[in-house]
Amino acid sequence: MDKFWNSLANLDRRWLFALTFLAISIPLLTGIVLPQKVTPMVENVFNAIDELPSGTKILMPLDYDPSAEGELQPMADAFIRHAAQKKHKLYFLTIWPTGVAMIQRQVATLKKEYPEYVYGEDYVNLGYRPGYEGVIKLITSDLPKLYGSDQQGTPVAKIPMMAGIDSIKQFPLIVNVSAGDPGLKQWVQYAATPFDSIEIVGGTTGVQASTLYPYIPNQMIGMIAGIKPAAEYEKLMFEKYPEIEKRPNSNMANVFMTSQEVAHFMLIAIIILGNVVMWQTGGRRDQS
C-alpha cells in the first residue's frame, strides 16, 4: 500500500495535464448545457441596464485583449445584445491597444444582429487613446479634447450622437468589460467615485474580481465576475428576450460552464487526493 501512495506522491504531472484536457474537452463535445441559478449581484447588473429608459446613452469601454477573450467575450456579447434590445445609444472606446479589435467584434455583432442600428446615430466607435488612466481623467472633464475623431477619423462634430457630449458625466451608465489594469478599478477610481452622477457596472475576470468587491455597492452597482455570472446573465437575457437564444453563439457562457463544472469537481478531487497522499506518506516525496 505504501508503494501505491508513494507512486501517487511522485505522479508525473503530465497525467494531470491529460486529465485536465479530458475534463475540458469531453463536455464541450457533448454540447450539454446545465441549468444556472441566478444570484442577486447578476440581477442588479441586469436591472441596471434593463431599467434605463430606451435610448439612454451608455458608455461601453472594452478594456481587454485576446488572452482574456475566453472569459470576457460571452459577457461582452451579452451586454451588447442587452443594450441593443433596449435600443440604448452605445459609445464604444478603449484604453487598451488590443481593445480596438475587441470593439470591432462587438460592432460586427451589432451590424449582423441589429441591422436597424445606424452608425453615428445609434452607436459610435471612438477607438483607442493611449495614456492609461490619464484618458479616464481627461474625459471626465473634456471628452472632445481627446476624442476629436472616431476610430474611422470622422470628426466627432460631424457625428450626430456626439452632439452636446462634453464629458462622460453626461452618461447615466458606464458598462465596462476589463481584464486588468488599467480597467474597471481605474474607471471606479477616476469616474465613478469622484462624480455621483456616474454609475458603473462591470464585467471582469475572476482574477481581478476579488479585489473589486469592496467597491460594491457604494462605488459600483455590481459586476459580472467570470464565466459563471456571465452564464447567469445569459439566462436572464433568454427569460426576458427569448428570441436571443436562437442566435448563434448567444449562449457561449452556458456552453462553457459545463466544462467549467467538470473541471471544478476534477480540481476538488485532485486537491483532496493530494492531501490524502500527503497524510499517507507523511509529506515524503522521492527527490530523484
Partner 1 sequence: MKQSNVIWVVVMLLAGVYLSWRAVSYQAGAVYVAPKIVADADSGKSFTTWSKVPSVESSNPGVEISWPRTLGIWLSALFTLAIFSFLFGDNVVYKVAESIFVGSSAAYAMVVGFWSAFMGIFVAQLAPQFSQNTFMPGDDRTEPEWLMLIPLAMGIMFLWRLMPAGGWISRWPLAFFIAVFAGLRLVSHFEADFVVQIKSTILPLIVFAEDGAFDLKTSLWNSTMVLGTLCCLTYFFFSVEHTGVVGKISRVGIYLLMITFGVGFALTVMSRYSLLIGRMNFLLKDWLNLG
Partner 2 sequence: MLKRTVPLIIASIVGIVLILAKFSPPIQSWETEVVMWFDILAVFAFVLGAGNLNLNNLKKISERKAGWGYAAITLLAFWITLICGIGKLGVPPNEQYLGYAWSGSFEAEGSAFWWIFNYVYVPLASTMFATLAFYISSAAFRAFRANNVEASLLLLTALVVLVSQTSSGPMLSDLIPEESTWAIFKIDTIRGVLVNLFNTLGTRAVMIGIALGVVSTSLKVLMGVDQSYLGGD
Interface ranges with partner 1 (CB under 8 A):
14, 17, 20-21, 24-25, 28-31, 67-71, 73, 97-98, 100, 108, 127-130, 132-134, 137, 146, 148-149, 151, 153-155, 157-158, 186, 188-190, 193-194, 205-207, 209-211, 214-215, 218-219, 225-228, 248, 252, 255-256, 259-260, 263-264, 267
Indicate the residue among 88 and 244 with the shorter CB distance to partner 1: 244
Measured between alpha carbons, how far is 176 from 262 in angstroms, rounded to an integer? 29
Please choose which of partner 1, partner 2, none residue 189 contacts, taking the beta carbon within 5 to 8 angstroms, the exact cut-off set by kind: partner 1
Phi, psi of 233, rounded to the nearest 5 degrees: -65, -40
Does residue 148 interact with partner 2 by CB under 8 A?
no
Collapsing DSSP to helix, strand or coil, 155 comes out as strand
Residue with cell 462624480: 195
Written as nine digits, the cell of 144 is: 472632445
Does residue 67 interact with partner 2 by CB under 8 A?
yes
Written as nine digits, the cell of 212 is: 473589486
Does residue 228 interact with partner 2 by CB under 8 A?
yes
Q: Which of the stretches 42-50, 52-60, 140-148, 243-251 binds partner 2 when contact is defined by CB under 8 A?
A: 140-148
Nearest by Cα to 94 from 83, 107, 82, 85: 107
Residue with cell 481627461: 138
Beta strands in the chain (DSSP E): 57-63, 89-94, 123-128, 173-178, 199-204, 222-225
Please choose which of partner 1, partner 2, none residue 16 contacts, taking the beta carbon within 5 to 8 angstroms, the exact cut-off set by kind: partner 2
Indicate the residue among 6 and 20 with the shorter CB distance to partner 1: 20
Determine the residue type at 76.
A
Indicate the residue among 20 and 167 with the shorter CB distance to partner 1: 20
Written as nine digits, the cell of 123 is: 452607436
Please choose which of partner 2, partner 1, none residue 278 contacts, taking the beta carbon within 5 to 8 angstroms, the exact cut-off set by kind: partner 2
Measured between alpha carbons, how far is 261 from 228 in angstroms, rounded to an integer? 10
Does residue 37 interact with partner 2 by CB under 8 A?
yes
Does residue 260 interact with partner 2 by CB under 8 A?
yes
Written as nine digits, the cell of 196 is: 455621483
Residue with cell 489594469: 181
